[in-house]
Amino acid sequence: MTPPVTRVVLRPLATPLPLGFLALALATVAFSAVQLGCVPPDQGRVAALTALAATLPLQFLSSVMGFLTRDPVAATGMGVLAGTWAVVGLATYTSPPGTASGGLGVVLVTAGLAMLIPALAAASSKLLPAAVMGLAAARFLVTGVYELTASTTWKTTAGWIGIVLAAVALYAALALELEAAQEKTVLPVGRRGAGRSAMEGDGSLDGGSIEREAGVRPQL
C-alpha cells in the first residue's frame, strides 16, 4: 500500500517587513524631531498622531501578515512595535508638552528588552532586519531611561538613535522591496544560513519535515 503523501498549498504572500519598517521610520523621525529640538515641544502631539494613525495600523497589519507568511520574527517584532507606539502615542497626546513620565519609561524599557527577542532570532538568518529591530530596542531603552530620569542628555541621545534607526529602516525597506520585486538580492540584506538558502531556492521541501511544521501538525 502506498503511504499517504503530505500536500501543502501556500498562497503567494509578500514579505510584510518593508511596510513595517517604513511605518517605523515615520514614528521615530517624528519623535526624534521633538527630542532634538528641531520642532517645538507642542508638536509632540503631531508625532503622537503619526504613531497612532499611521505607524500603529501599518505595523499591526505587518504583524498579522507575518503570522500568515509563517515569519515569527516579522510577526513578533511588528506586533511589539505596534503596541509600543500605541502606548507612546496615547501617552504623548494626553500629557502636557515636554513632560517626562516614569510610567511610560517603565513601559519603554520593557518594550526595549522585548524587542531584543526578535532581533536575536533574526540574527541567525537575516542581519539587516535584526539590525533594525536591535536599534528599535536601543531606541526604546534609551527613551525609557530619559522618561525615568528627565535627563536632557538621555533625551538627545534617544533622538539621535531614532534618526539612525530611521536611516537603517529605510534602507532595509528598500533592500527587501527590491529583493521581492526582482526576485534576487539587489542591495545587501545580510542573509545567511537558512535565510540565504531560502532566497537561493536551496531550502528543503521534504514532505516529512513539512507535516511537522506549525500550522500543519495537529497541535502547535
Q: Which of 181, 178, 170, 142 is nearest to 158 (CA)?
A: 142
18, pLDDT greater than 90: yes
**156 half-sphere exposure, CB direction, 13 A CA radius:** 4
212, pLDDT greater than 80: no
pTM, full prediction: 0.85
4: left (phi over 0), alpha (psi -120 to 50) or beta: beta
Q: Look up the CATH architecture of domain 17-201.
A: Alpha Horseshoe (1.25)
**16 half-sphere exposure, CB direction, 13 A CA radius:** 25
Per residue in 87-142, pLDDT tens?
999 999 999 998 999 999 999 999 999 999 999 999 988 899 999 999 999 999 99
